Amino acid sequence: MTKQERPHEADEKRPVDPAQLARARALAAAAYDRQAEDVVALDVHGLTSLADTFLIASGRSRQQVRAIADAVLEAARRDGIRSLGAEGTSEGRWALLDFGSVIFHVFHEEARRHYDLERLWADAPQLDVEPLELKQRKAK
């Protein structure tokens, strides 16, 4: 895709909206609470018109993928983040949770390797959504 074909100017540098980052962090925290692995947040603003942030997380089993997706949906309801839709939550391979400006992909490890969204969106800067408590534990 050339620069002219992109819906937004990819080179456009803008600070991340603090409210957007807070939404992404709240949703990521819910995934971390269910032991989600490899949680990644990508700032896709300027690369697609679908959303501003993609969150990607993995679960080790189909049950865990469902549990992560349920926890994220519950956290969104609790925090007043409107869900526009959820797909694949019952299958447990790839749950797609649409919150408008944030889209959360919860994958079974195998499906995540297959679709490799991080490679597809390699131009997107990563956002820091790791909870402070987890960072502190890792530092010890």
Q: Kindly tell me if the per-residue pLDDT of 93 is higher than 50.
A: yes
Q: What is the pLDDT of residues 103-112, one digit of tens each?
A: 999 999 999 9
Amino acid found at 113: R
Q: What is the pTM of this model?
A: 0.85
Mean pLDDT within 12-39: 90
Q: Kindly tell me if the per-residue pLDDT of 14 is higher than 80.
A: no
The rounded distance, in Å, linking the Cα atoms of 52 and 135 is: 25
pLDDT value for 129: 94
Is pLDDT larger for residue 66 or for residue 16?
66
Mean pLDDT check: name the lowest of 9-13, 42-46, 83-87. Answer: 9-13
pLDDT value for 139: 76
Question: What is the distance between the terminal CA atoms of the chain, rounded to a whole angstrom?
Answer: 44
Q: Kindly tell me if the per-residue pLDDT of 126 is higher than 50.
A: yes
How do the domains of the chain map onto residue ranges?
17-139
Strand partners, 58: 37, 107
Q: Kindly tell me if the per-residue pLDDT of 16 is higher than 50.
A: yes
pLDDT value for 2: 41
CATH architecture for the domain at 17-139: 2-Layer Sandwich (3.30)
Amino acid found at 51: A
pLDDT value for 6: 40
Cβ atoms of 63 and 113 closer than 8 Å: no
pLDDT value for 69: 98
The rounded distance, in Å, linking the Cα atoms of 42 and 74 is: 22
Mean pLDDT within 102-122: 96
